[in-house]
Amino acid sequence: RLFAVVQINGRQFKITSEDIINVPLHFHPTSGDRIRLEKVLMVGGKDFTMVGRPLLSRGQVKIEATVVEKTLSHHKVHYWYKKRHRIRK
């Protein structure tokens, strides 16, 4: 079974065929769009492994995906403070 390590929105995902991945943060394509994943770091299988330095070229690897669903998530609240210094953000 073939696998690939791709970079989406600055995060790395190990994917195989028929996988469903959850991409956090803002993602531009809408539902139903077919996208081509171009930032491929590694491709491999049982008999071989291709490692990019840092990326594999477009001519070597072609990975396409379909956006199944796009939903909005809850906003994350980050609270930062220093004790005994009256600093809170």
Question: 41: number of CA atoms within 13 Å, CB side?
Answer: 10
Q: What is the pTM assigned to this prediction? A: 0.75
Question: What does the pLDDT read at residue 83?
Answer: 85
| DSSP per position, 33-81 | -EEEE--EEEEE-SS-EEE-SS---TTT--EEEE-------PPP----E
Question: What does the pLDDT read at residue 62?
Answer: 93
Tokens of 73: 């998530």
Per-residue pLDDT reduced to its tens digit, 19-36: 999 887 777 888 899 999
Per-residue pLDDT reduced to its tens digit, 34-85: 999 999 999 999 999 999 999 999 999 999 999 998 887 777 788 888 888 8
